[in-house]
Structure 1
Amino acid sequence: MEALAFTFVGHALRALPSGALHWPEEHLLVVSDLHFGKSARLARRGGSLLPPYETRATLGRLDADLETTGARRVICLGDSFDDLAASDEMEPEDRLWLLRLMAGRDWLWIEGNHDPGPGTIGGSHLAERRIGRLHFRHIAASDASAEVSGHYHPKLTLAGQRRPCFLLSDPARLILPAYGTYTGGLDCGATELAALMGPDALAIATGRRCLALPYAAAAQSRPRSSSLSR
C-alpha cells in the first residue's frame, strides 16, 4: 500500500492508506475518530445492533501502522471512544492489546465531543497540543493556522466508490479522516467543510494507495446523501 508524502507549513508529513498521518521527523503517528466501543454504545442505548468486532479491527490497523512506521509517539485526535463509558467496557483482550500498543510510547488522547474527559486507560489527556508549528485539536477552528484536526469524517467519491479522505488547506488546516471501523462520513463537499477549505485545497483519498486531488474537483463528485457518525 502506498502512502503519500506532502508538506504542510514546512513540515514533511505522510498520509497513510489507513487514514493515519505519519510525521517521520517527530516519530509521530496521528489518528482520529477511532470510536472504540461504537457497537456497545448503540446496543446499550437500544439502537442498531452491529457485530461487536469494530474495536478489534481498528486495533489491528493501528498495530500494523505502528509496526510499519516505528512511531514512538501517538496522538489520538478525539472521539477515540464512542462515549466515556466505552473505555471501561472494552473486552479484556482488546484492552490488553491497546495497553500493549501504548507501552513504551508517548501516547496522547485529545478530548473529543464523544469523549470530553479523561478515561480510565493510561496516557496523557489534553484538549489541545502544539508540536513544532502544528496545533492538534479535535474540531477545526474557523480562524485556525497550522491546525491538524478530525471530527468530520470526510469522504469523497472516486470511480463510483466512497473513500475516506484527508483535506489539506495549507497553511490553515489539515483534517484527517475517521480511522475507526464503524464510522460514517460527511461528503467533502458539504457546506461545513467547504467553508474551511481555501482555493488551493487538496483532498487526499485513502485506500490501497493515497491519491491527491484538487478539493474543488473532489467536492463536485457527491453521492446522493451523506451522513456523519457523531
Structure 2
Amino acid sequence: MTDYAFDFNGTACRALPSGGLFLPTHKVLCVSDLHLGKSDRIARRSGMMLPPYEVHETLTKLETDIEATQPQTIICLGDSFDDLDAALDLPDDMRMWLARLQAGRAWVWIEGNHDPGPVALGGTHLRDISIGTLIFQHIASQAVAEVSGHYHPKHRVAGRSRPAFLYDGKRLIMPAYGAYTGGLSSNTDVLRNLFSEQTIAILTGPKAIPVPVAKNRRPVRSGGRFY
C-alpha cells in the first residue's frame, strides 16, 4: 500500500502519494491548489511562455486518483484555477475532460484567493463545507478539525524537499496538487506558528511517508511566492 491511513479528529483519512486526501467512510476525495491555467496566466501577464501541459498533467493525476478511490464527492479546496480568466479560457477538450470526471459525482469548488467567484464548469461553489467531523476551507483559521490548503507546504528530509501534508490534533494543511505549483517550507515561521509540537508531515512521492516535524530547528523566514 502506498497511501498512509490515519485518524484526524475521529475521521478516518488516507493521504495519497499524489497529494490527494481520501475519506473512505464518506467516499470523499479532496485535492487542493490545482492552479489550472497557470501557464496561461503567466503568459497573459508577463509574456513569458511555459510549456502548456500543466492542465493535462494535473487532470491525468486527478483521474488516476478518482479511478483508484471511486469517490462519491470530490472537493477542490480552493485555487483550483490560477485566476478567473484561466477558468474562462480553459480549452474545450479540458472542459470536456472535467465534465467526464464530474459525471455521476458531487463536485464542490471551494472558494480560494485566486478563484473567489463561481466558475461555469459544473459542480457547486462554496466558501467551506463540513464532512463528518471535519471542516474544509481554503485558508487556515482558528477552527478545530480544519482541513485547508493555500500554503503549499513542503518538508525536507535527508536533503530532499517534497510536497507534504502537515497535521496535528487541530488542523491539517494539504500540499498543492497542481503540476506548476511551488511550495513553502514546513520550517517557515508562518507554518510553524500554525502548528503544535506534535506536528506530522506526510511526504508525497512514490509512497506517502509520515515523519515528525522538529520544532526546535531554526525557522526560515517566510518569503517569496509559493502560489
Query: Any idea what SS the aligned residue of 1:162 has?
Result: strand
Q: How big is the shift at 1:225? A: 9.1
| Equivalent-residue separation in structure 2 for 1:221 and 1:50 (angstroms) | 35
Q: 2:146 is matched with which residue?
A: 147
Q: Deviations over 1:48-73 (max 9, x none)?
A: 32101100000000000000011111
Q: How big is the shift at 1:223? A: 8.8
Is residue 156–residue 221 contact of structure 1 (8 Å, CA) maintained in 2?
no
| Equivalent-residue separation in structure 1 for 2:139 and 2:213 (angstroms) | 19
| Equivalent-residue separation in structure 2 for 1:147 and 1:34 (angstroms) | 19
Q: 1:69 is matched with which residue?
A: 69
Residues 1:47 and 1:159: Cα distance change in structure 2 (over 3 Å)? farther
Paired letter, 1:106: A
Q: How big is the shift at 1:220? A: 4.1
Runs of 5+ unmatched residues, structure 2: none
Is residue 189–residue 221 contact of structure 2 (8 Å, CA) maintained in 1?
no
Residues 1:117 and 1:225: Cα distance change in structure 2 (over 3 Å)? closer
Q: 2:137 is matched with which residue?
A: 137
Is residue 185–residue 227 contact of structure 1 (8 Å, CA) maintained in 2?
no
| Equivalent-residue separation in structure 2 for 1:138 and 1:179 (angstroms) | 13
Q: CA RMSD in A?
A: 1.9
Q: 1:229 is matched with which residue?
A: 226
Which segment drifts farther, 175-184 or 198-207?
198-207
Q: Deviations over 1:149-208 (max 9, x none)?
A: 0000000122322200000011x1000000000001000111110011111111111100
Q: How big is the shift at 1:91? A: 1.4
Q: How big is the shift at 1:228? A: 3.7
Which segment drifts farther, 44-53 or 59-68?
44-53
Q: How big is the shift at 1:229? A: 2.9
Q: 2:90 is matched with which residue?
A: 90
Residues 1:106 and 1:133: Cα distance change in structure 2 (over 3 Å)? same
Q: 2:196 is matched with which residue?
A: 198
Paired letter, 2:8: F
Q: Deviations over 1:124-145 (max 9, x none)?
A: 000111111100000000x220
Paired letter, 2:168: S
Write the mapping of 1:49-198 to structure 2, written as runs, cut at 5 A: 49-141=49-141, 143-170=142-169, 172-198=170-196
